[in-house]
Structure 1
Amino acid sequence: MSSTSAASFSSFSSSSFSTVRSPVLNHLLAAVERLTPLQLAGSWDNVGVMIEAPYPRQEIKGKKQVLTCIDLTTAVTEEALASSSTAAVLTYHPPIFSGLKSMTLAVPLQASLLRLSTHGIPVVCIHTASDSSIGGVNDHIASAFTLDLRATSKAIEESKEQPEGHEGCGLGRLVTLDHALNKHEVVKRIKHTLNLDHAQAAWAPNGAEKIKTIAICAGSGSSVLSGVKADLYLSGELDHHATLLCNAKGIHVILTNHSASERPWLKPFAPRLAKAMNEEAGGDAYETKGDGSYVVKDYNNVQQGYNGLYNNPQHGSEGRFTPVFPPPPWLPAPEGRWGKLATLASIIPLISS
């Protein structure tokens, strides 16, 4: 490094570096604590600040943007860096989950964190705090069935902490409907609320003809939903054998794909976040932007993703496999009228991986 470069770097470092958190990060964390209090996250989870920026981003003119995303992918990182207005990234899933012994550019998630930090962009994660909070991910899913969430929807695992404005919060939701719905109406509402084209439904042969109670868990619901008494379990994903057990107990199951149960919440949440940050800042300083990634809904594009949702096949003359929607062209024609296609549930994980 030349003496001129060294002097310039030294000058920048001494004048810009601070161990005090930036106003942007302070405003973001304050807004997060109002909307999705981090104390509501599971004890096993990793939420809050994932990485800070040693220097503030210099080139921002006008409103500062907070990019919201489900996962901090390389594509999301590129999008954040491409905009000179990006001041912070708020991610749902934690880019750091367990302890690290090093941070290197060889690991994509770590590289994303390092690149964002060196460009003055901190990263914050909310994960299960947003699942448990009032107005969070599970409430958004529950809104497909009721407008009066507080009266008809209860947390499955109520949080020990009950912050002001989040009374009754906790993991999962158990919705009790005023009027029972048929299966078609349930699927229709789920598709509309989560912006889905398809849904995977495992109808229990001895289950309720009309749905009165619905147990909800965004993402992976195997542990939260286990043992809950309801006509229907609704989740992003459920263990294969847990699904079979539910059906044996007369519980219907609808699965949406993991992130497809979480991502739609970001759309109504983003303006709430911007509003809260602006209130913390005392002015119109912030706006939010969703990342450009998406969930593929087209059966014909299996290579990019799988969001196909079908009935779990049942054996016997009464338990025929019938698709909720027309089958994809790549699915081999079964014998008879779907009667012996009993392996679809087991091949779905292979398609989605």
Structure 2
Amino acid sequence: MQCVWQASLMPFCRSVCRARNVWKLLSSHINPPHVSQLPLLAPLKPRYLHHCNSNCVLQPSVEQIIVSPRRLFTRGPVSAGMELQDVVSVLKAFAPTHLAAEWDNVGLLVKPSGEHFVQTMLLTIDLTETVLEEALRVQAQMVLAYHPPIFHPLKTLSGHTWKERLIVRSLENRLAIYSPHTSYDALAGGLTDWLAQAFGESTVSVLHQSSPSALTSCGHYHLSTTLHGKDAMNASVDLQSITGDTPKVIQMRRDDADNTTDVILSMNVTEQVLLQVLQCLSKYGSHARTEINTTTMVSLPNTGMGRLCQFKEPMSIKDAVQRVKEHLGLPLVRLALGTQHVEESTIQSVALCAGSGGSVLKGVKADMYLTGEMSHHEVLDATAVGTSVVLCDHSNTERGFLPHLRNILVERLQQKVKIVVSVEDKDPLKIL
């Protein structure tokens, strides 16, 4: 018996599915009566297989077929998808992880073994077990969780705690997890700048500028190395596994005399991995030369933690609070009035920080503080010097950024990955 399907399905199955057993079956002759005995292919029989003389014909003309390690299912048109490492490169280019606070845990936290293809990414602030179920429901291959689900070290993965269960189930279902956290806070045009848009036109400045010392993790040294074509490809993969970044091809030279192509690879490396990189390159026979230069890190403009908004025209505290509620989509917030302030008092400046802003806002001179949460005594310290405080609960100052982030990522990923904003993600606290 011969198995026939649309030509476009072959590369789709091979590059997207990575399910070798299914690919082997689809690439060989299939005896239709036994299709129902194959658990992955059985769902195809009622809808896609029919007998035509001696042919078994697979016709995914109305809906496309997606083969997943979890199950085989059908649905409407899907995104083309990208390799995980390419998605991560785009995410790092948008918000470099070295912008994050030193105490933070950001980047690719969970990576399924082998190659991993991403067609659907779920955006969430908190990856809870409920959100994980949603990720599986929408058939996501990757979750971008703003808060890192792995923060404190996990000594076991036995499933006794909800954090352990998250990681175990993610690995079982080949779900990659990426967390940007404070890199988005510091980023120019990131989450904190989005929060500042609540007040309309204003002059916005960074409270705590990212310092060069905070940027050193992206590389003390700039390295360029020359290898022959095939060795360059293999070395690029090895170097990516050591440094986490893919080297850039900056030049290719053809040598007609010995019919080879010399490739120059370029990348930034840290002092910690420099020796590993050099040892890796030394194993390639075509390795001709490596040039190493030290680099000086400089701060990026408009990056750092917290923002100070100075209004062109004064507004009342009551109006400022209403703007915050509308921007965040909240019916209620908490307000602590500074000494000598009433709701009708006018203000001209707001210092803000998404999430927990106590340490970032401490000592900043402003008429109002806006953040998710502060301790009781931090609020007392602020109001005592005449600063009013608006608290919205931690994740409520962050969640509204996700639809904006979705639009950014759709464009940066060239519409190859379907981006879904979680509907299950919500702040655990309610004001009744």
Aligned residue pairs: how many? Answer: 273
Cα displacement (A) at 1:207: 3.9
Aligned equivalent of 2:94: 35
Give the corresponding residue for 2:125.
Answer: 70
Gaps of 5+ in 2: 1-19, 25-80, 216-296
The corresponding residue for 2:279 is: none
In the other structure, the counterpart of 1:222 is: 358
Report the 3-state secondary structure (helix = DSSP H, G, I; strand = E; otherwise coil) of the residue aligned with 1:143: helix
Kindly indicate whether the alpha-carbon contact (under 8 Å) linking 2:325 and 2:332 is maintained by their aligned counterparts in 1.
yes
C-alpha change, 1:146 and 1:196, in structure 2 (3 Å) is same
Measure the CA separation in 1 of the matches of 2:83 and 2:162: 25
Answering whether residue 110 of structure 2 is matched by residue 51 of structure 1, we say yes
Aligned-residue RMSD, C-alpha: 2.8
Query: For residue 7 of structure 1, what is the aligned residue in structure 2?
Result: none
Contact 2:201–2:312 (CA under 8 A) maintained in structure 1: no
Q: Which residue of 1 aligns with 2:180?
A: 126
Residue 152 of structure 2 is matched in structure 1 by 98
Q: Does the C-alpha gap of structure 1 residues 56 and 111 become closer, same or farther in structure 2, counting only changes over 3 Å?
A: farther
Give the aligned residue type for 1:252. Answer: S
Residue pair 2:111, 2:175 contacting (<8 A) in 1 also: yes
Contact 1:32 1:38 (8 Å CA) reproduced: no
The answer as to whether partners of 1:94 and 1:127 remain within 8 angstroms in 2 is yes
Tell me the residue number matched to 1:173: 307
Whose Rg is larger?
2
Q: Describe how 1:157-306 pairs up with structure 2 within 5 A.
A: 157-161=208-212, 167-207=301-341, 209-278=345-414, 284-295=415-426, 305-306=429-430
Give the deviation of 1:295 after TM superposition.
4.2
Alpha-carbon separation, structure 2, partners of 1:289 and 1:237: 27
The answer (yes or no) to whether the contact 2:126–2:145 under 8 Å persists in 1 is yes
Structure 1: which 5+ runs fail to align? 1-10, 16-21, 279-283, 297-303, 309-327, 329-353
Tell me if the contact between 2:82 and 2:416 (Cα under 8 Å) persists in the aligned partners. no
Determine which structure has the larger strand proportion and give its number.
Answer: 2
For residues 379 and 348 of structure 2, the distance between their equivalents in structure 1, rounded to whole angstroms, comes to 19
SS of 2:350's partner is strand
Q: In the aligned structure 2, how far is the partner of 1:147 from the partner of 1:78? A: 40
Secondary structure, in 3 states, of the residue corresponding to 2:84? helix
The share of aligned pairs that are identical, in percent, is 31
What secondary structure sits across from 2:382 in the alignment?
helix
Work out whether residues 54 and 118 of structure 1, in 8 Å CA contact, stay in contact via their aligned partners in 2: no
After superposing the two structures, state which structure 1 stretch, 35-44 or 96-105, moved more. Answer: 96-105
Secondary structure of the 1:76 match is helix
Structure 2 counterpart of 1:305, one-letter code: L
Contact map agreement 1:246 1:252 (CA 8 A) in 2: yes
Counterpart Cα distance in 2 of 1:147 and 1:178 = 7
Residue number in structure 1 paired with 2:56: none
| Residue 271 of structure 1, CA deviation | 1.7
Aligned residue for 2:43? none
Letter matched to residue 197 of structure 1: P
What is the DSSP-based 3-state SS (H/G/I as helix, E as strand, rest coil) of the residue aligned with 1:46? coil
2:355 aligned partner, one-letter code: G
User: Which secondary structure does the structure 2 equivalent of 1:206 belong to?
Assistant: coil
**Conserved 8 A contact 1:24-1:87:** no
